[in-house]
Amino acid sequence: MIKLSLFLFAEANAPDAKFMWDTQWYLKSGMNFIEHGAFARSIGVNVIQYEVFRTPGYPFFLGLTHDLLNLPFSGVVLIQVLLGVLTAWFVYCTARLINLDNAWLAGLIMLYDPSMTVHALFLLTDCLFTCLLSVFLYCFVKFVQKKNLRDLILSSLLLVCAIYVRPVAYYLPGFLVFFLLFNNFKASWKRNIIYALAFLITCYSLIGLWHLRNHARVNRFVFSDINSAALKYEGILSKGERYRKDAKSEHLESYHYYLNVIPRSVWELWTRPASLKNLGSQPLKLAGKIFAYPFILFWMIGLVRGIWAARGSPAVVSMVVVIGYLTVVTVLAILLNVGPRFRLPMMPFVAVISAYGWGRIAYSTDAVE
C-alpha cells in the first residue's frame, strides 16, 4: 500500500518527476529497437547512430512497454512498482531456501527498502536491474543448495540479462567462478570445475554476442562505453576533474586524495538514505528521512552479524562475494557520486544476509540447518 500510495501521490503532484535527464536517451533507442530492429538513436532525418554507450536491456523494456504495448509512462512506472514487490517475493523465497526461520524479515527489508520504493518511481534502470538480480539470486542459491546444473545455467542466463540492463555486473561472473571452484573443494573438486566452466562459458558467450554486434556496427569490440567513461570522468582514472569536485580533498595529491575519498565514498554508498525530494513535498521528504535512518541501522546490524557468521552457509558466502564486488566496482567507478541508487542492486543480498544475521542474534544459534 505504501508503494502504491507514493505512486499515486507522485502522479497527482509531481508527474514529471519520473523523467530523469537520461530517460529520453533510453526511450529513443528503445523505440528504434522495437520499430526498426536497430539499437540506435535518431540524429537526423533518416539518420541513426548505433548505440554503444549504453546496453539494450532497459531501452528494450521501455520500447516494449511504452511503444509496443502503448502504455503511458505512468503505466510503465506502475509496472516498475510491481517489479519491486516481485523482488521482495524472490528475496523471501531465497531466504526460505536456506531455511531461515525469519525469511519473512528478508522479504520485509526488501519490500520496505526506501531505495527500491523511491527509484521504482523513476524511468531508470534501477528497478529492473535489481529485480533481475533478485531472481538470479534465487536460482543461484537454489543451485548452491541442490547442485542442479539446470539451476546454475538458469542463474547464468538471468545474470546475463541483468548485465544487459546495467553493465556494472560485467565482471561478476568471473568473481563467482572462484566461489564455484572453491566451495567444498576437497570433496567435489571435479564437479566444481565443471560447474565453474559451465557458468563462465554460458555468461561470457552470451555477453560476447554484444561485443560482436558492436564490432559489426561500429568496428569496436567492446560491450559498452559507459563503464570506461565513468572510470575516466568520475572514478579512479579521472584526472584533474576530481580535484574540482570535492572541496575537502581538492588540495591533496593523488595518493592522499584517494586515501581521503575512497573511505568517504564507501560510507556514502552504505549510509546515505534515499530521498523523496523529487515528489515536491517537504513533509513527505522529512518523513522519508525519519524512517530511512533507523531502517538502515536495523539492516546494517543484521548485515554485519550475518557476514561475521557467513562461514556457516555457503549460500551466504556467495552473497557476500556479490556485495563485495558491487561495492568495490561502484566506488572505483564513480567515487563520491555514489548514493542510495547504487546501493539498491545490493539490497536483495543485503536483505537475506541481514535476516540471517538477526536470526543469529535472536537465537544465538545457527540460522541455517
**Tally of CB atoms within 10 A around 51:** 25
**Tally of CB atoms within 10 A around 35:** 11
Q: How confident is the model at residue 237 (pLDDT cuts 50, 70, 90)?
A: confident
Residue 305 lies in a domain: yes
Phi and psi, residue 7, nearest 5°: -60, -45
Question: For residue 126, how many C-alpha atoms fall within 13 Å in the half-sphere facing its CB?
Answer: 27
**pLDDT surpassing 70 at residue 166:** yes
Q: Which of 14-23, 128-137, 244-253, 335-344 has the lowest mean pLDDT?
A: 244-253
- What domain range is 156 assigned to? 2-363
Q: How confident is the model at residue 238 (pLDDT cuts 50, 70, 90)?
A: confident
**pLDDT surpassing 80 at residue 364:** no
**pLDDT surpassing 90 at residue 134:** yes
**pLDDT surpassing 90 at residue 28:** no
* C-alpha span between 177 and 195 (Å, rounded): 8
**Mean pLDDT, residues 204-210:** 96
Q: How confident is the model at residue 155 (pLDDT cuts 50, 70, 90)?
A: very high
Predicted local distance difference test score (pLDDT) of residue 198: 96
Query: Has this prediction a pTM greater than 0.85?
Result: yes
> What tens digit of pLDDT does each residue of 291-324 get?
999 999 999 999 999 999 998 899 999 999 999 9
26 versus 201: the higher-pLDDT residue is: 201
Identify whether the C-beta of residue 338 lies closer than 8 Å to the C-beta of residue 331.
Answer: yes
**Mean pLDDT, residues 159-168:** 97
Residue 222 lies in a domain: yes
Q: Which of 28-37, 116-125, 139-148 has the lowest mean pLDDT?
A: 28-37
On average, the pLDDT of the chain sits at 90
At 189, the amino acid letter reads: W
Residue 368 lies in a domain: no
Q: How confident is the model at residue 281 (pLDDT cuts 50, 70, 90)?
A: confident
* C-alpha span between 28 and 26 (Å, rounded): 6
Predicted local distance difference test score (pLDDT) of residue 151: 97
Considering only CA atoms, which of 95, 20, 62 is closest in space to residue 87? 95
**pLDDT surpassing 50 at residue 369:** no
Please count the structural domains in the chain.
1
Q: How confident is the model at residue 239 (pLDDT cuts 50, 70, 90)?
A: low
Residue 129 lies in a domain: yes
Residue 127 lies in a domain: yes
**pLDDT surpassing 80 at residue 206:** yes
Give the best-scoring range by mean pLDDT among 27-36, 45-54, 192-201. 192-201
3-state secondary structure the chain: CHHHHHHHHHHHHCHHHHCCCCHHHHHHHHHHHHHHCCCEEEEECCEEEECCCCCCHHHHHHHHHHHHCCCCHHHHHHHHHHHHHHHHHHHHHHHHHCCCCCHHHHHHHHHCCHHHHHHCCCCCCHHHHHHHHHHHHHHHHHHHHHCCHHHHHHHHHHHHHHHHHCHHHCCHHHHHHHHHHHCCHHHHHHHHHHHHHHHHHHHHHHHHHHHHHHHHHHCCCCCCCHHHHHHHHCCCCCCCHHHHHCCCCCCCCHHHHHHHHHHHHHHHHHHCCCCCHHHCCHHHHHHHHHHHHHHHHHHHHHHHHHHHCHHHCHHHHHHHHHHHHHHHHHHHHHHHHCCHHHHHHHHHHHHHHHHHHHHHHHHCCCCCC
* C-alpha span between 174 and 201 (Å, rounded): 10
Phi and psi, residue 346, nearest 5°: -85, -15
Residue 123 lies in a domain: yes
Phi and psi, residue 98, nearest 5°: -95, 20
Residue 369 lies in a domain: no
